[in-house]
Structure 1
């Protein structure tokens, strides 16, 4: 399209201005760093729960999940099924642990437990994870809005980034949480509206969608065989459990929210509210993906239009029509799944409603990015600047630092998003990167909190071995064919599972060996 109708642009503009005004409103309260990072511990549990839910329900879910379901099946939904167990562990052990320490950073206790190196390592892993998360979300929102507006993806990321930076810097964590409460409602209603529009545009309605979905095996959760080389049910279940354990136990985005609650009970309830909202919401997006598959199945001419666009994007400028057609015919549904939702919005959603749905997608992106910016700035302030550069920084100086760091991480997130332009699946790239960066710090955290006898020396060795294993799991696929026997035989989503267990089990083994040697 050349551009959205005026009414849709007006709705989007009003939404963006509204988010900025929220930041302006809360800026009156942000007179110190504690208010900026903790909101003085006065946020109600239900608001925190909606905020965590909104952070989970990012544009990766809004765009990536329907694309994943379109190109495959409901295998990735198993990730959501794993959440209740991780939430139970977090509410029972992690919430009391963090709130009792009183430390705003999730990583301060690692230094107390093992030394400065452990804190630095976890901080690096966290910041890399945040850049990957923000980058994938910037990319996802730009992918959608490019189809709707015709503007370049780089331009969209810059404009969006500026808006997010403004309200996050002005409002602090309180603005982030309360805007996420609004965004949680907006994005959920937006998803329901999209589902309604697909069904009403579908010849044969729900029964035809179910018929086509069953024939194409679109509702499968994956193979139940104990196959860890492919994306089986068990691989996604394990991946989901370990990632969610990391989210609830090591991710500053969530740890920081525990401190904004008025009590341990309120913080724990916020986790459960997030789970009970996110599991059905994520299922809703898989249903949307299956509905889109059915809709485009009965409109194959529209699929060819999308495939043609993807083929042009993948080829150099001025490629021949023959080459374009060759690439177009070779494309599989998984190659263009992320393009389906934007195309449906462009062609089938009435004027006025497009603006509302785009606002929902924007809210999905903005909530997670703003949360990541605030958490990253907090970690940089507490774990890096105050720890190594200026321990006696005044509160006024610290607040200024938080503002500058928030802007800096917002800009880095935009750069990461621009670097991701051209990836095949938003969800795949986010899952892979998060698994790589989260594996090490989760293993170290579990070792420190469970194995009380493990000391600095054993933790260092276990972490070094774990890093080596993670590097091998990640990069061994690049080995030449003559060294194929040394390649990682497991699915890439197993990286966080193997990496975490390597550090944790190796640390316990070394501790037992040392204790046995001392007593012999």
Structure 2
């Protein structure tokens, strides 16, 4: 198996076996749909907090963040620094709102507020977002394991996908949450070990990281100029705030955990625990990326191995032509940033420890994918099957549907991952797709929650306006070259910001216009 020793292989197989065994253990408790989807509301707040943290800390973070920091700087860290602001809003307003509502689905209240179309729109946005999330995570795990095993990416995705499907189907949300608690600890320890090994392999240790990083401006948080056309400090901060507000307020992965807590206070604490752990943990991964940059500056011959490997892949796939050296010289750090950490693992991590690190990367993927599979299955049963086909079904049938939907969405996630093979940056593609697929549904949710006077007509008009704005920002090529001045000037990370505000603000303005018109008519 490529560079893996027998000891590493045994550790990885043991880890996968334990995860599947956890699913079998919790399968005995899943007698009802309520137990499968919200663990009967008996999970302690600290476990939920670690579970939410583990969901955030996917392979997109484990591989994508170091790759991003290696290729550029710490600009993307503003995403993490925006989390406390979104957490404050979520813990103060969203938790109580959902728990008082009582429905396990995050989107039931939208139908009660604006009608079936609103619920359907939000469900469609959520499912697309989850497929993008699962696909990017599958792709991330395939990148790292391919470098170590030399197995094809599709094979890696299928094997890991089968293991994830088994323990998620059997164990339900309780298995997902408790395995995520363990996985969150494993991958954090794994990251610390990787950082230690990088620094210990530098001639002057931490001093080399600081020296090289400072000289090449690798610690920069981006431009502080108010500029929304590039990935500035403000663009990433706004993107982070809106996407995290969307996560905490509209994402079934998180809303489902609010219901699994025994009280509002425990659910709110779980959000803050996630933030307290995730912000410094993400900083750790940015520092790993900068440390890797310093490592490869000190050992440039090893960087040649990475660029030659990527060049050979492109020539083999037909996406590049010419000699390996020529193609390698034309590559930029953005082309091979995600390959850096797997390459370092191959070269520098000792036997035994490598197996533990791979288990950490696997746990980063498994926690996010299993969470997405469980939540999408829940949404399918609650918002699609029960709403459109049969609302009065037995618990036994609900369980069968949950099992089938979990498997189906797991397979769809794998398919999405296969479609992403060849993408340059895991983090970039995930951020872009999540911003687009969120579809401004946060704006619709805020409109219903804040603007009590807004009715169905205002909401649907505002949503149409928001969708048009999102399409305008996502597909600038739809506008002919002669009208190029009409194309969106905004950076792609502004899509969720502008889309959300378009729906919310246009809905409020249309509502005010209607109210003024009614006053004039009655005057």
TM-score higher than 0.5: yes
CA distance in 2 between partners of 1:376 and 1:250 (Å): 13
1:403 corresponds to: 403
Measured after TM superposition, the shift of residue 387 of structure 1 is 0.4
Q: Residue 165 of structure 1 contacts residue 407 of structure 1 at CA under 8 Å; is this kept in 2?
A: yes
**Per-residue CA distance 1:88-147 (angstroms, 9 max, x = gap):** 000000000000010000000000000000000000000000000000000000000000
CA distance in 1 between partners of 2:503 and 2:480 (Å): 28
SS at structure 1 position matched to 2:227: coil
Measured after TM superposition, the shift of residue 315 of structure 1 is 2.3
Measured after TM superposition, the shift of residue 482 of structure 1 is 3.3
1:389 corresponds to: 389
1:222 corresponds to: 222
Q: Residue 49 of structure 1 contacts residue 272 of structure 1 at CA under 8 Å; is this kept in 2?
A: yes
2:287 corresponds to: 287
Measured after TM superposition, the shift of residue 454 of structure 1 is 0.3
Measured after TM superposition, the shift of residue 325 of structure 1 is 2.4
Q: Residue 439 of structure 1 contacts residue 497 of structure 1 at CA under 8 Å; is this kept in 2?
A: no
1:375 corresponds to: 375
Select between 240-249 and 200-209 the one with higher mean Cα deviation: 200-209
Gaps (5+ residues) in structure 2?
none
1:194 corresponds to: 194
SS at structure 1 position matched to 2:179: helix
1:56 corresponds to: 56
1:340 corresponds to: 340
CA distance in 2 between partners of 1:166 and 1:202 (Å): 42
CA distance in 1 between partners of 2:313 and 2:482 (Å): 34
Q: Residue 3 of structure 1 contacts residue 149 of structure 1 at CA under 8 Å; is this kept in 2?
A: yes
Q: Residue 127 of structure 2 contacts residue 376 of structure 2 at CA under 8 Å; is this kept in 1?
A: yes
**Per-residue CA distance 1:410-449 (angstroms, 9 max, x = gap):** 0000000000000000000000000011142111001110
Measured after TM superposition, the shift of residue 316 of structure 1 is 4.2
CA distance in 2 between partners of 1:360 and 1:452 (Å): 46
CA distance in 2 between partners of 1:146 and 1:93 (Å): 44
1:482 corresponds to: 482
Gaps (5+ residues) in structure 1?
none
| Structure 1 residue 449 corresponds to structure 2 residue 467 | no
In structure 2, relative to structure 1, the CA distance for the partners of 1:500 and 1:345 (3 Å cut) is same
2:272 corresponds to: 272
CA distance in 1 between partners of 2:183 and 2:212 (Å): 33
**Per-residue CA distance 1:350-391 (angstroms, 9 max, x = gap):** 011100000000000000000000000000000000000111
CA distance in 2 between partners of 1:119 and 1:319 (Å): 42
Q: How does 1:314-333 map to 2 (within 5 A)?
A: 314-316=314-316, 322-333=322-333
CA distance in 2 between partners of 1:322 and 1:415 (Å): 31
2:213 corresponds to: 213
Q: Residue 70 of structure 2 contacts residue 293 of structure 2 at CA under 8 Å; is this kept in 1?
A: yes
In structure 2, relative to structure 1, the CA distance for the partners of 1:129 and 1:320 (3 Å cut) is closer
| Structure 1 residue 512 corresponds to structure 2 residue 516 | no
1:22 corresponds to: 22
| Structure 1 residue 422 corresponds to structure 2 residue 391 | no
Q: Residue 252 of structure 1 contacts residue 375 of structure 1 at CA under 8 Å; is this kept in 2?
A: yes
In structure 2, relative to structure 1, the CA distance for the partners of 1:152 and 1:287 (3 Å cut) is same
Measured after TM superposition, the shift of residue 3 of structure 1 is 4.2
What TM-score, normalized to structure 2?
Answer: 0.98
**Per-residue CA distance 1:205-224 (angstroms, 9 max, x = gap):** 11111000000000000000
Q: Residue 477 of structure 1 contacts residue 488 of structure 1 at CA under 8 Å; is this kept in 2?
A: no
Measured after TM superposition, the shift of residue 51 of structure 1 is 0.1
SS at structure 2 position matched to 1:421: coil
2:84 corresponds to: 84
2:311 corresponds to: 311
Q: Residue 315 of structure 2 contacts residue 321 of structure 2 at CA under 8 Å; is this kept in 1?
A: no
Measured after TM superposition, the shift of residue 486 of structure 1 is 2.2
SS at structure 1 position matched to 2:311: helix
Measured after TM superposition, the shift of residue 319 of structure 1 is 9.7
CA RMSD in angstroms comes to: 1.2
Measured after TM superposition, the shift of residue 311 of structure 1 is 1.2
**Per-residue CA distance 1:480-515 (angstroms, 9 max, x = gap):** 543321221110000000000000000001000001
What TM-score, normalized to structure 1?
Answer: 0.99
Measured after TM superposition, the shift of residue 323 of structure 1 is 3.6
